[in-house]
Structure 1
Amino acid sequence: PPLQWTGNAIDLVELIYGIYEMGCINNGEMPLKQLAPLLYRIFGVEAKDCYRFYTDIKRRKTISHTHFLEQMQEKLNERIRRDEEAELKRR
């Protein structure tokens, strides 16, 4: 079945900008205006104005500008710690 983004659209835009800024696609040679629609299509999201969402991200006052990416980092680090603990218990 096709992929379906079930998170908030603004979180997807935060992820898209992170990928873009890291230069992870085509050695950073793909313009954002091409990358965003491609990732929207992959995740089954109707085309959104990613620039408007980016403006909203920049305006965040009560949470970090990169709230979603920081949550992702925290969740992945928690997973790694759990896996490491499980490995130690098996030894």
Structure 2
Amino acid sequence: EASINELTGYLGKLLGVEIKDILCYNTYANIKHRKNESRTYFLDKMRERLNLRMQRDDAKEQARR
């Protein structure tokens, strides 16, 4: 298990951006307090679109065979 600080540090390096510690905790708190159907709307949409893309790619590969 990694702390929020460790995760944001890793993601910051991966994306080439500096993430301030205080901002990550404020953002986490804001996400945690969301009352919508999904607290992680962006991640949910990203997962959905990635799965759709993989299904389309699989279908294209099947059609080629």
TM-score by length of 1: 0.54
Cα distance in 1 for partners of 2:51, 2:43 equals 12
- Between the aligned partners of 1:75 and 1:82, the Cα distance in structure 2 is 11
How many residue pairs get aligned? The number is: 63
Separation in structure 2 between the aligned mates of residue 57 and residue 65 of structure 1, nearest angstrom: 6
Percent sequence identity is: 43
- Report whether the alignment pairs 1:37 with 2:34: no
CA RMSD in angstroms comes to 2.0
Structure 2: which 5+ residue stretches go unaligned? none
| 1:86 lines up with 2:47 in the alignment | no
Question: Which one has the largest radius of gyration?
Answer: 2
Equivalent AA in structure 2 for residue 57 of structure 1: I
What is the TM-score with the length of structure 2 in the denominator? 0.70
How far apart, CA to CA, are the structure 2 residues paired with 1:62 and 1:82? Answer: 30
Which consecutive unaligned segments of at least 5 residues does structure 1 have? 1-27
Give 3-state SS (helix, strand or coil) of 1:86's partner: helix
Higher relative contact order (CA 8 A, sep 6+): 1
Cα pair distance change 1:82/1:31, threshold 3 Å: same
